[in-house]
Structure 1
Amino acid sequence: MSNNLLNKFLNPSEIKIPTLSHRNKYNEIENRADNIIDIHIKHPLNNTWVLWYYENDRRNDWTKNLKEITSVSTVEDFWSVYNHVKCASELKHGCDYSFFKKDIRPMWEDDANKNGGRWLVSLEKRQRESDLDNCWLEIMLCLIGESFGDYSDEVNGATVNVRQKADKIGLWTADGSKAKGESIMAIGRKMKERLGLDRSKNTAIHYQLHKDTQVKAGSLAKNTYSL
């Protein structure tokens, strides 16, 4: 391209300098673009979490009834999954949901669980429609939000058990030894606070070691701690 032709396109008299109103429009467009980008940016979680489902089918053994549904590693993934699965209150009696860190199976025998225990809260049948779903959601939000502070690494996951007489929500920790007593109690207090149970004198939560639960299931198991 010749210099004359180039100068024609670059003639200062023909170049339009953006006015203030133009600049405001540019800024508005830029802000809108930023908002669109924000919508598509996912917010990663500190851990990847896996949602499990246990089907109460007596024709199969326990391990065959346990199914991995999906994993979530961002806030957006979590809400997408939560909004597309049945609520805990809609599960059949004998069925469970479990929500655990990736690579930890929701069973006592798993290496990450075998030395631990769980905080348990029992909800009466009449509370199923009013409280169960809210409590289960709150526990999952505690998990993905690392709400247990310095003790979050000691929490492996949680379960919700739907049963004929009463439902249970369990918060599983990795180590139930006496040396971890302080952290276990701190986790239990946070659980009780987030579920709003600290305002109710009639609702207690109990911590049971998995090794004790394996020997005596349900309400017969020994309570190591209570709040």
Structure 2
Amino acid sequence: LLSSVISIQKSDALVPVHPLKHVWTYWYLNDQRDKSWEKRLKVVSNFATVEEFWALYVSIRPPSLLPSACDYSVFKKGIQPMWEVPENSKGGRWLITIDRSRHHDLLDLIWLEVLLAVIGQQFGKYTDDICGIVVNIRNKGSKISIWTTDCNNDESNCKIGEILKQKLMSPDIDSKIQRPIFDILRYEDHQEVQNKISSSVKAKHIITAAD
């Protein structure tokens, strides 16, 4: 239930002073698999400022405490976190897979690093090509992905991947975390993922930590 994820205290004392370039929507997909995917998906909140983001973020469970089969998604307002919508239908995603053995060390850290980079315009002009980000909680290994709007825009997608690698390789990330915090970044076409006939999908682009 949404109430199990979020508990926000509304206050008139919260004054927006640092607006973000875009308004973002924080979504939650619950683990009630007996319901349709659309009925499982709920809007948690919208945020348009740095202050609104942090007020929301500290009020909800981190990804590592969500049950398996749950997702968080943060997308530009007006874009639903679904492959089928026009903004996503011809797009793709940069995918980070979190090894089960390092799940609790890395999941929350990488999610927050990527989230701050995306909403904070750290991808520069290429942020315009980013629709949102998703974290999928799964027993076999959780995933974090950045969704872009055009899987064939190689220049933009490759640059987003390069910047993502820089963020994840940054020495500013918690020094107690074993490095590297990822092995490989894969860019996948949404259509290829939907139409896959095996457990693997051919990546359009690959970036390794060792490069």
Specify the alignment match of 2:184 in structure 1: 204
Q: Is the aligned partner of 1:215 residue 2:195?
A: yes
Helix, strand or coil at the partner of 1:128:
helix
Deviations 1:91-136 (A, max 9, x none): 0011100000000000100110001000001011122211110100
Q: Is the aligned partner of 1:59 residue 2:39?
A: no
Helix, strand or coil at the partner of 1:220:
coil
Which sections of structure 2, spanning at least 5 residues, go unmatched?
1-13, 172-178
Give the paired residue count: 187
Distance 1:210 1:158, change over 3 A: same
Which protein has the bigger helix share? 1
C-alpha separation in 2, matches of 1:132 and 1:155: 21
Match of 1:194 among 163, 167, 175: 167
Deviations 1:129-162 (A, max 9, x none): 1111010001110111111112110001000011
* Contact persistence 1:208–1:223 (CA under 8 A): yes
Distance 1:114 1:220, change over 3 A: same
Q: Give me the identity figure in percent.
A: 39
Cα displacement (A) at 1:200: 3.5
TM-score by length of 2: 0.84
Which sections of structure 1, spanning at least 5 residues, go unmatched?
1-38
Q: Is the aligned partner of 1:225 residue 2:198?
A: no
* Contact persistence 1:215–1:221 (CA under 8 A): no
Q: Is the aligned partner of 1:142 residue 2:110?
A: no
Distance 1:90 1:149, change over 3 A: same
Computing the radius of gyration from Cα coordinates, the structure with the larger value is 1
C-alpha separation in 2, matches of 1:98 and 1:133: 14
Q: Is the aligned partner of 1:99 residue 2:74?
A: yes
Match of 1:220, as an amino acid?
Answer: S
Distance 1:201 1:217, change over 3 A: farther
Match of 2:186, as an amino acid?
Answer: H
Match of 2:84, as an amino acid?
Answer: E
Question: CA-atom RMSD, angstroms?
Answer: 1.9
